Every structure is written in structure tokens, then in C-alpha cells.
Amino acid sequence: MTDLPLLEPGQPVLLMVDQQAGLAFGVGSADRQLLLSNAVALAKTAKVFNIPTIVSTSASKVYSGPLLPPIKNVIPDVPVIERRNMNAWEDDAVRSEIAKTGRRKLLVSGLLTEACVTFPVLSALSEGYEVFVVGDTCGGLTLDSHNLALRRLEAAGATMTSWIQVLLELQRDWTRKETYDGARAIVEAHAGGYGIGLAYARDMIHPV
């Protein structure tokens, strides 16, 4: 079988940057509650598929607040790395934790798209990482500035994706029993009509 250019669970590391209330207040590019739901779904996906997760915050004591509790509740054992600069890649602790995983495919989620997502993505690309920006878990000040930032990152070589595409790409085959229950539960909880359909099929449709 020819190798496909699709993510496998053993390949990526997830970087979540500044998923904090103080920054979420400034998001105008998407519904904030949906954005939070998407970020929670991504964190759950990383947990189900044993993807190493690096979490970093900034100005948590003076403005931005701690990691958003719904995300923290999913990954309570993941340490949160506090930074001073906007570019997480310029923080030695963040970069070191990513390097320790030995993985060269980087999933990135964060706030705000224009800075704290854009800067580490560009830096990681310059060091040869393959970067996937999980666009529907990132929020910008305006829809225009969010989209312009994503366009810049795509032009620089990053791949745009969504949390549901990441999950389905990693699962790929619903006969992968070790992750089936976890992946299905995430879809049912966070994927809108698709999740409703899966729940309906489970509860109402029975083989003849």
C-alpha cells in the first residue's frame, strides 16, 4: 500500500497558545463559544490519540487570565508554560518541550491569530517543521485580520485544517477500536449535526 500524505497519531505534536479569557474577549472573527468548543474538541482529540500537547500562556496574572477552564479540564496534567513574549517559539521552555517529543509535524491552535499564532508558525516553518494551523480553533480581532493571517501562513507553507479534519484524519477507519469510542464521543459532543447523526444512528437504527 502506498504511503498517504495523511496524519498518523504517531506524527504530530500539538501547540496550544494563549487560549485565555482575556484574549478571547478580543476575538471578533468567530463566535467565542463555538471557538472554545472547537479548542476543547481539539484537546480531547490529542488526548484520545496520545498526541503530545504543549500549552503556553502569557500575561496570565496581569491581563489574560489562566488557561480556559474547559480546556484545562480536558488536559489537567499538561503543564502550562508561562511566557513574556508574543512568539512562543522564542521561549526556550516551549521550544525545548516541542523538541523533546522528536516530532516534526506541528499542530497549532491559539489566540490571537494575528500574532500569537502567526509568529510561532512562521518561526517553526523556518526551522523545517511541517505546520498545520487548526484554523477553527484560532481567533482574530476581526474576520478580515484573522483570514489575512491565515492566508499569510498558507503562503509561507503552513497547511490549513480544522479540528474535525484532524480527528477524522487520525481515526480514518472506524474499525480502529482502540480510539473508536473516544473519537465518536468527541464528534457527538462537538460536531453539530454530524454528531447528532452519529448519536441517532447509535440509539435508533438497529440492524435487521
Q: List active site positions.
A: 116
Listing from the earlier edge strand, what are the strands of the sheet with 105-110?
80-83, 53-58, 12-17, 105-110, 130-134, 159-161
What cell numbers appear for 82 in the block?
508561562
Q: Which spans in 54-91 are helix H?
A: 69-74
Taking each helix axis as running N to C, give the angle between helix 177-190 and helix 32-48, from 0 to 180 degrees, rounded to the nearest 10. Answer: 170
Separation CA 205–CA 130 (nearest Å)? 41
Q: What is the CA radius of gyration of the chain?
A: 17
Separation CA 176–CA 166 (nearest Å)? 16
What cell numbers appear for 120 in the block?
510561532
Question: Of 170, 171, 168, whose CA–CA distance to 191 is shortest?
Answer: 168
Position 96: which residue type?
A: S
